[in-house]
Amino acid sequence: MQVTINGEPKQLAGETIEAVLAELGLLDKPCAVEVNRQLVPARDRSEHRLADGDSIEIVTLVGGG
């Protein structure tokens, strides 16, 4: 499936947000996810199916000082 993640085109095997986060190594990291400009709550990530051409934004927390 071809999607855009944070402005970059990506070819992914996963069909749900949870699967995509696992592919990217972000499954256990705190993050916010939007699909086509709609926030997807963490509780819905395993059920939210993606479609070819979706635009996904993933925001993670970054520590520093």
Chain segment 35-47, per-residue pLDDT in tens? 999 999 999 999 9
Q: Which domains does the chain have, with CATH numbers?
A: 2-60 (3.10.20.30)
Chain segment 7-59, per-residue pLDDT in tens? 999 998 889 999 999 999 999 999 999 999 999 999 999 999 999 999 999 99
3-state SS, 3-63, equals EEECCEEEECCCCEHHHHHHHCCCCCCCEEEEECCEECCHHHCCCCECCCCCEEEEEECCC
**Beta strand 55-60 pairing with 38-39:** unpaired
Query: How far is 61 from 39, CA to CA, in rounded Å?
Result: 16
pTM, full prediction: 0.89
Is 70 exceeded by the pLDDT of residue 5? yes
Nearest to 20 by CA among 8, 33, 38, 7: 33
